[in-house]
Chain A
Amino acid sequence: MRMYTEERAPSKRNFVKDVLALTSNHAVAYAVRSLDVDVIASYPITPQTTIVEKLAEFVANGELDAEFVNVESEHSALSVVLGASATGARTFTATSSQGFLLMHEVLHNVSGLRLPVVMAVPSRAVSAPISIHGDYSDLMTGKDVGWIVFICASAQEVYDTVLQLYAVAEDERVCLPAIVAYDGFLMSHTMERVEVYRDDLILEFAPKRVKRLLDPANPVTLGELALPEHYYRYKYSQLSALDGSREVIRSVFKSFYSYFGIEYDFVERFKTEDADFIIVVYGGASWGNAVEAVNITREKGLKTGALRIRVLRPFPIKEVVDTLKNVKGFSVVDRAISFGASTPGPVYADVVVSLAEYGFSIPSVCVIAGIGQKVMYVSDFVRVLEELVKGKEGVILL
Chain B
Amino acid sequence: MIKNIKDLPREELFAPGHTMCSGCGPAIAVRWITKFIGNNAIVVNATGCVEVTTTIYPRTAWEHPYIHSLFGNTAAVAGGVERAIGVLSRKGRWDSGDTKVVVIAGDGGTYDIGLQALSGTLERGHRVLYILYDNEAYMNTGIQRSSSTPLYAWTTTTPVGEKVRGKQERKKDIIGIVLSHGIPYVASASVSHIVDLGNKIEKALSYLKEGPTFIRIFAPCVPGWRYPENKTVEVARLAVETGYFPLFEWEKERFRLNPPSNGLVDEQRRVPIVEFLKLQERFSHLSEEQICAIQDEVNRMWEKIKKHLK
Question: What residues make up the interface of A, taking CB atoms closer than 8 Å to B?
Answer: 38-39, 41, 65-67, 69-73, 75-76, 79-89, 91, 105-106, 109, 113, 213-227, 230
Contacts and interface: CB of A to CB of B under 8 A. Distances in A.
B124 A70 contact: yes
A41 to B, nearest CB: 7
B56 A71 contact: no
A203 to B, nearest CB: 13
B78 to A, nearest CB: 6
B57 A219 contact: no
Contacts of B79: 69, 71, 76, 80, 83
A39 B40 CA distance: 22
Interface of B: 39-42, 44-45, 51-52, 55-58, 60, 62-70, 72-73, 76-88, 90-91, 93-96, 99, 116-117, 119-120, 123-124
Given A41-B80, A87-B80, A215-B96, A106 B119 contact: no
Contacts of A224: 55-57, 60, 68
A83 B78 contact: yes
Contact of B57 (A85, A217, A225): A225
A237 to B, nearest CB: 13
B77 to A, nearest CB: 4
Contacts of B88: 38, 87-89
Contact of A73 (B63, B64, B86, B120): B120
Contact of A221 (B52, B55, B76, B123): B55
Contact of B99 (A38, A67, A216): A216
Interface of B: prevailing SS? mixed
A76 B67 contact: no
A232 to B, nearest CB: 12
Nearest to B83: A67
Contacts of A81: 80
A229 to B, nearest CB: 9
Contact of B87 (A89, A109, A223): A89
A221 B95 contact: no
5 contacts: A72-B120, A84-B81, A87-B84, A216-B41, A223-B68
B72 A75 contact: yes
A69 B87 contact: no
B116 A76 contact: yes
Contacts of B45: 223
Contact of B73 (A89, A106, A221, A230): A106
Contacts of B87: 38-39, 65-67, 89
A132 B63 CA distance: 48
B40 A216 contact: yes
Contacts of A88: 84, 88, 93-94
A219 B56 contact: no
Contacts of A83: 44, 67, 69, 76-82, 84
A307 to B, nearest CB: 39
A305 to B, nearest CB: 45
A176 B86 CA distance: 24
B84 A84 contact: yes
Nearest to B120: A72
A217 to B, nearest CB: 6
A65 B89 CA distance: 12
A79 B82 CA distance: 12
A71 B120 contact: yes
